[in-house]
Amino acid sequence: MKWGLYLRLAGTNIKNSKKIYLPYILTGICMIMIYYIMSFLAADADINAMPGGDSLQQIMWLGICIIGIFSCLFLFYTNSFIIKRRKREFGLYNILGMEKRHIGKILFCENSIIALLSLALGLLTGVLFSKLTQLFLLRLMNEAASFHFYIEWELVLNTICVFAAIFALILLSSLYQLWKAKPVDLLQGSVVGEKEPRANWIMAVLGIVLLGAGYWLAISVEDALSALVLFFVAVILVILGTYCCFISGSVALLKLLKKNKRYYYKSKHFISVSSMTYRMKRNGAGLANICILSTMVLVMLSSVTCLYIGAEDALRNRYPRDIVIDTYTSMPDDAMLFVKEDVQTVLEEKGLEAEDVLEYRYYSLVAYQSGANMLLDSGLGDVVSTQICSIYLLPLEDYNAITGSTQHLDKGQALLSVNRMQYHYDTVCIGGQSYQIKEKVPNFFENGNATSEILCSLYIVVPELADIETLHSEVMRVSNDVDDGHFLRYFYGFNLDCAQEQQQDVYAGIREQLKYRHFTGSVECIAQERSDFFSLYTGLFFLGIILGLAFILATVLIMYYKQITEGYEDQSRFDIMQKVGLTKQQIRKSIDSQILTVFFLPLLTAVVHTMFAFPMVEKLLLLFGLDNTRLFLLVTALSFVVFALFYSIVYFITSRNYYSIVSGKNVRRVV
């Protein structure tokens, strides 16, 4: 046989099986398009030239790696549906006299046609939409863009190489399955798994236990650091529990429904329960995949959208004033004088005035929490990382000035405020000095360092500055460090009523003034850091949208192939039922009952997963400086509504295709 004949056979096969090949080709086109666009943005000169562009492009490179790995796994997964559907056809070819090497050549031609078509259209759409996507991204960043259109041929070549390798691996996998299968296996390949599985009660109970453990971790975590440490543990537990529950737990549930005679012996329930039980072991894995992907979409889109919308709040948490000066000193009074003097000099030159001035003295250190004791010995090795916390001490005089209160503390008393953690004790002991907590006060400490740290924080107000000096001596003794005299910190921040460019000029002027003072500390300007800050949040938002679209595409395709595959498998079964007396209306009701159960169960489970994940994700957002629970709750609820609407549309489309295959004709809608 000549290659021309193989090509004609391959083209005819693809055309005749367009219902299963078209979604696969469209998936390849979308993955290639997304990969090229991400590569284009990661190398684009306009993005690199804007403030914060380098940070944004680093996020894009991360997205390229994720998309590349996901594309490989997902194309392999969807190709398995096609090979399973066509095994019977290959077996028939083999029995009729065509050798496996001939079938392999047909597979090679089919895979080549699909690869070339996907690459051509994927790169074409990627090139066409790359500039539009760049403009959209720059618009999110409020940056101007040039309308110069160009093609990065090096990126085109890289995309071709990556996806050519993926399609080559898919071809090798298909050829291997063909080579190792016997003709009779190929003939029965499309119906493998028809044997009714037994209810594995041990795995079903294990699934419930794993889900319960994952949920408990998510809702019991008390601080952001613990959430970061335990997040992936909870995710793995929930994923494993989801697979166990859908694969074995669903079979066990259906077995129980069969024993319920009042429920089971009704036409619509009898058919749907029997049909789902008959091959639920395989279906359970597909439903678990849909559930996990749906959960990923909901959690990802809600969190990155919340970060993007709340970026200004997070920025203000990190930089509480437009200009912030943080000084290390042993002479706070002198530091206060020269900082204020230099700031005033610069402001007078610019014709500006400081507004909303915030100033205080404080001392910071890191300790290990052991109950009410804050241990300063850094050599302790048996304390887990979630017990590490930052401690900030302020004298009462400064606290009253900040809050406008008139608190009074006796010796040995303290006020306490906490950030990102719970504190359940009435005393706190630091460096051998114990304080009775007179009152737990709301968070009052505006300091960008505390917001940017990953650690939990304790803010302790002590009666006198002398208490802080005593503690510093103890820290030096425990750490065997040499006292450099710079133990106290002086914070001075203020706002400016001017444009960002003027704020940056003031910032540069203050830095210039302070360098002649042998200044030890930091000077920060919110206008100077805004671009990098928003680049990070915009990059995460954009990456979340791209990955969300990819996961939604995966969800849709799994649902589609699941319905198509089961439709062909159920066609003869429902035909027999119709011949033995079931009406088309009864069959249609049974189909509706089955697909409603099968498709909306993963969505409901995904909603439950997301609800339990909410407390943990909320604490993770604190690491990005976002503490707006109301915003996160609203965005999550809107994500539920939008995704459920989209999911329902996909359900109606796929159920229509299912009924069309089962009934042997096209219908306009499923009642």
Q: Give percent of the chain with pLDDT exceeding 90.
A: 11
Amino acid 368: pLDDT: 83
Whether 364 and 490 map to the same domain: the answer is yes
- Same structural domain, 538 and 419: no
For the segment 82-114, what is each residue's pLDDT rounded down to a tens digit? 777 776 677 666 666 677 777 778 888 888 889
Whose CA is closest to 447, among 465, 430, 460, 459?
459
Residue 123's pLDDT band (cuts 50, 70, 90):
very high
227-237, pLDDT tens digit by residue? 777 888 888 89
User: What is the pLDDT confidence band of residue 193, given thresholds at 50, 70 and 90?
Assistant: very low
Q: Among 144, 168, 192, identify where a domain stops.
A: 192
Same domain, 550 and 458: no
At 577 the pLDDT is: 65
Measure CA of the first residue to CA of the last residue in the chain; give whole Å. 50
**Is 561 found in the same domain as 622?**
yes
pLDDT digits (tens, 9 = 90+) for 3-16: 777 788 778 878 87
307 and 349, same structural domain? no
Task: Convert the pLDDT of each residue in 67-77 to its tens digit.
Answer: 888 888 888 87
At 235-290, the pLDDT tens digits run 889 988 888 887 776 666 666 766 766 666 665 566 666 666 655 655 677 778 88
Lowest mean pLDDT segment, chosen from 23-37, 67-81, 371-385: 371-385
Long-range contacts made by residues 312-315, C-beta under 8 angstroms, separation at least 24? 313/625, 313/626, 313/627, 313/628, 314/533, 314/537, 314/624, 314/625, 314/626, 315/526, 315/529, 315/530, 315/533, 315/534, 315/625
The per-residue pLDDT for range 518-564, each reduced to its tens digit, is: 778 888 898 888 877 887 788 788 888 888 888 888 888 777 777 77
* Tokens standing for residue 514: 């302070």
Please check whether residues 138 and 171 belong to one and the same domain: yes
Q: Does residue 431 sit in the same domain as residue 315?
A: no
What pLDDT digit, counting tens, does each position of 581-612 carry? 666 666 666 666 666 766 778 888 899 999 99
Q: Tell me what pLDDT residue 666 has.
A: 43
The band of 160, judged by pLDDT with boundaries at 50, 70 and 90, is very high
Cα 658 to chain centroid distance, Å, stands at 32
Mean pLDDT, to the nearest integer, of 618-645? 85
Q: What is the pLDDT of residue 377?
A: 62
Q: 291, 246 in Cβ contact below 8 A?
A: yes
Whether residue 310 sits in one domain with residue 293: yes
Token output for 468: 């802080």
Q: How confident is the model at residue 395, as a pLDDT?
A: 92
Domain enclosing residue 175, as ranges:
1-192
The mean pLDDT of the chain is 79
User: Are 618 and 657 part of one and the same domain?
Assistant: yes
166 pLDDT band, cuts 50/70/90, is very high
* Closest by CA position to 421, among listed 463, 449, 447, 453: 453
Helix (H) or strand (E) holding 429: strand 427-430
Give the list of residues 6+ apart from residue 521 with CB closer than 8 angstroms, or none: 325, 326, 327, 328, 489
Residue type, 7: L
pLDDT at 215: 92
Is the domain of 465 the same as that of 594?
Answer: no
Looking at the structure, do residues 531 and 517 belong to the same domain, yes or no?
Answer: no
Looking at residue 216, its pLDDT comes to 92
Q: Report the SS3 class of residue 417.
A: strand
Q: Is the pLDDT of residue 357 over 80?
A: yes
Question: How far does Cα 53 stand from its chain's mean position?
Answer: 22
- In single-letter form, the type of residue at position 415 comes to L
- Lowest average pLDDT, out of 40-54, 313-327, 434-448, 634-648, goes to 40-54
Count of domains in the chain? 3
Q: Check residue 208 and give its pLDDT.
A: 87
Cα-to-chain-centroid distance, residue 15: 38
Question: Region 502-529: what's the mean pLDDT?
Answer: 84
Same domain for 343 and 488? yes
Residue type at 123?
L
Is the confidence at residue 385, as pLDDT, over 90?
no
> Among 525, 542, 571, which residue terminates a domain?
525
Q: How far, in Å, CA of 264 to CA of 1, rounded?
A: 55
> Is pLDDT of 404 > 90?
no
The pLDDT score that the predictor gives to residue 452 is 73
Q: Is residue 171 over pLDDT 80?
A: yes
Domain boundary, last residue among 161, 192, 223: 192
Q: What is the DSSP letter of 192?
A: T
Say what percent of the chain tops pLDDT 70: 78
Is residue 381 pLDDT above 50, yes or no? no
Mean pLDDT of 615-635: 84
pLDDT digits (tens, 9 = 90+) for 133-144: 888 877 777 666
Between 466 and 33, the higher pLDDT residue: 33
Query: Average pLDDT, stretch 377-403?
Result: 74
